[in-house]
Chains A and B, each alone.
Chain A
């Protein structure tokens, strides 16, 4: 059982206003950060930062993050050996071997981000696990690190200000490990066309891989080809043998080339077993396996809602969704708040409502990063509504 972190840290983290760096846009150009604004609005917002104590970070976030990750791995272990659960998780029958073998073989993982509701006191609560295609890794690992360095160098923030963010260092080290585990292969990176955010994310990870001494290539997901033998290839006809894809497994499973998965000799990042963790069915199963764990919220499959012992409101989430799409808050069976989006045809789960902490007009969500199974830092995002969407704003943080 996790230690109660509330004992010593009985206060909220702080939201502190600060002047923007006068040259921040030039800095963004200099370092190729292109998606700091989207749809004409700010995504990166350095007009304020969040301030945590070291205790809030270490006891409230870092340790629970690693605990939650271990619980999640226990769920994967259970699901891969249970046909009924594989069905519950909507893993298509023709991909079961692919998913199972990747777990049994111990295919290594690179990174994950779990989303937490955390006020600074008490227990952080798990919202969901972005284990397959986590983004905002550049903003976290590099860009907010640079923000802190610039502000310390300028004397705006004190020298002893720190940040919970060893993400880049850990990513490079993890790539070195993966290189050792995957000798003599070149690593292809892939994402979809027409998304500057994904392209930037993948470029960042490619830079980290290169820093680890790996030879890399890039191919868009839509440009991936196949040869007569069923190998996948890039636009220069190089066979893909080691592949990072920022594209959800549940999409790939059912697309035209999905039937070739597992038939060709490719090492995948993230590995196929991550499809079990990025699936919202994870949440009810976690609650079943670790009932009343203080970092978990009660969660139920749709046909087990009667097990919920509360008439309180529940959050209805599609099994597969990204970036807060199609989430609704259900109170007395009426949907009081919902977000639009293209997900939901695979069914829903219900999670007890637990509001994000509010700072003024802002609702704040913590993304807690793992590299393999080590906690590696946080990202802080805020939104003007209680459901965090992909148009939420990213704010830096410090430890003081």
Chain B
């Protein structure tokens, strides 16, 4: 056979019930989908190395290392703001700090997520994903716990959270953008060249 043996048509379907592909995500508004149980994971959120020791059975040294890794992840992946005020408007007064590399402000993590791995009878970390407590008044996410990319995992104080497996994955590095529009000028120049509206593309 010279053609693809099988194509999953359900995966390829893009009818009105499927997500539109012209649908930008907005920071902080992604809510964990609870549709598929098989992709769900039970996680703990701990707020300090001491709490980590108390709930996970790891040693203090292990928990201290996990905490510091989570902080490094927070520095790398947390949302960045130009001013402390901007950051505090979303995460609350006194909840923001300057990035270590300087220049920007980011929320302080309120804890970090640990996956419950039932191997060896104890818990062990899954990456070390920091979590934040969102605090903008009247927001639907007010007082919710979320990951660095804005995925809400639940309300504070739960003993455990059911989250999508993807929530446990390491997040992309987040930065502060200083300018946009540095690519694309050739295309717009060429499309106006002919005077016609372009609906074909720049591929070939």
**A residues whose Cβ falls under 8 Å from a Cβ of B:** 29-32, 35, 38-39, 54, 57, 130, 133-135, 141-142, 145-146, 148, 162-169, 184, 186, 191-199, 201, 203, 207, 211, 215, 217-218, 220-229, 231, 233, 235-239, 241, 246-248, 251-252, 254-258, 260, 278, 321-323, 340-343, 377, 390-391, 399
Whether, in the assembled complex, B170 has its beta carbon less than 8 Å from a beta carbon of chain A, the answer is yes
**Set of chain B residues within 8 Å of A322, measured between Cβ atoms:** 202-204
**Set of chain B residues within 8 Å of A169, measured between Cβ atoms:** 4-7
- Give the residue among B182, B198, B204 with the most A Cβ atoms within 10 A: B204
- Give the residue among A211, A228, A343 with the most B Cβ atoms within 10 A: A228
Known: A222-B183, A247-B184. 11 other contacts (CB 8 A): A133-B204, A169-B5, A201-B203, A218-B21, A221-B183, A226-B180, A236-B149, A246-B203, A256-B181, A278-B204, A323-B204
Whether, in the assembled complex, B79 has its beta carbon less than 8 Å from a beta carbon of chain A, the answer is yes
Judge whether A237 and B185 touch: CB under 8 Å.
no
Judge whether A32 and B14 touch: CB under 8 Å.
yes
Q: How many A-B residue pairs have CB under 8 A?
A: 208
Question: In the complex where A166-B3, A203-B21 touch, is A236 in contact with B27 (Cβ < 8 A)?
Answer: yes
Whether, in the assembled complex, B121 has its beta carbon less than 8 Å from a beta carbon of chain A, the answer is no
Rounded to whole angstroms, the CA-CA distance of A130 and B4 in the bound complex is 22
Q: 13 A-B pairs, CB-CB below 8 angstroms?
A: A32-B18, A38-B200, A166-B4, A201-B203, A222-B180, A223-B181, A225-B179, A251-B183, A251-B202, A256-B181, A323-B203, A341-B194, A342-B193
**Set of chain B residues within 8 Å of A217, measured between Cβ atoms:** 172
Judge whether B193 and A191 touch: CB under 8 Å.
no
Residue of B nearest to A198 (CB): B201
A258 to chain B, nearest CB (A): 8
Q: Which one of B1, B8, B174, B180 contacts A162 once the chains associate, using CB atoms below 8 Å?
A: B1
Judge whether B13 and A30 touch: CB under 8 Å.
yes
A129 to chain B, nearest CB (A): 10
**Set of chain A residues within 8 Å of B15, measured between Cβ atoms:** 29-32
Please, how many residues of chain B have a CB less than 8 angstroms from a CB on the other chain?
56
Question: In the complex where A32-B21, A241-B172 touch, is A197 in contact with B201 (Cβ < 8 A)?
Answer: yes
Rounded to whole angstroms, the CA-CA distance of A228 and B175 in the bound complex is 9
**Set of chain B residues within 8 Å of A203, measured between Cβ atoms:** 21
Whether, in the assembled complex, B80 has its beta carbon less than 8 Å from a beta carbon of chain A, the answer is yes
Question: In the complex where A168-B7, A255-B185 touch, is A227 in contact with B178 (Cβ < 8 A)?
Answer: yes
Rounded to whole angstroms, the CA-CA distance of A141 and B11 in the bound complex is 14
Judge whether B181 and A222 touch: CB under 8 Å.
yes
Residue of B nearest to A148 (CB): B3
Give chain B's interface secondary structure class: loop
Question: In the complex where A32-B14, A239-B173 touch, is A255 in contact with B2 (Cβ < 8 A)?
Answer: no
Residue of B nearest to A188 (CB): B172
Rounded to whole angstroms, the CA-CA distance of A12 and B13 in the bound complex is 36
Judge whether B2 and A165 touch: CB under 8 Å.
yes
Question: In the complex where A221-B187, A224-B180, A246-B203 touch, is A164 in contact with B21 (Cβ < 8 A)?
Answer: no
Rounded to whole angstroms, the CA-CA distance of A284 and B91 in the bound complex is 61
Question: In the complex where A227-B175, A255-B182, A342-B194 touch, is A198 in contact with B203 (Cβ < 8 A)?
Answer: yes
Rounded to whole angstroms, the CA-CA distance of A191 and B24 in the bound complex is 14
**Set of chain A residues within 8 Å of B185, measured between Cβ atoms:** 255-256
Whether, in the assembled complex, B159 has its beta carbon less than 8 Å from a beta carbon of chain A, the answer is no
Judge whether A224 and B183 touch: CB under 8 Å.
yes
Rounded to whole angstroms, the CA-CA distance of A133 and B201 in the bound complex is 10
Residue of B nearest to A253 (CB): B186
Judge whether A130 and B204 touch: CB under 8 Å.
yes
Q: Which one of A191, A224, A241, A255 contacts B186 once the chains associate, using CB atoms below 8 Å?
A: A255
**Set of chain A residues within 8 Å of B200, measured between Cβ atoms:** 38, 195, 197, 323, 390-391
Whether, in the assembled complex, B176 has its beta carbon less than 8 Å from a beta carbon of chain A, the answer is yes
Q: Which one of A224, A225, A377 contacts B178 once the chains associate, using CB atoms below 8 Å?
A: A225
Rounded to whole angstroms, the CA-CA distance of A169 and B5 in the bound complex is 8
Judge whether B180 and A165 touch: CB under 8 Å.
no
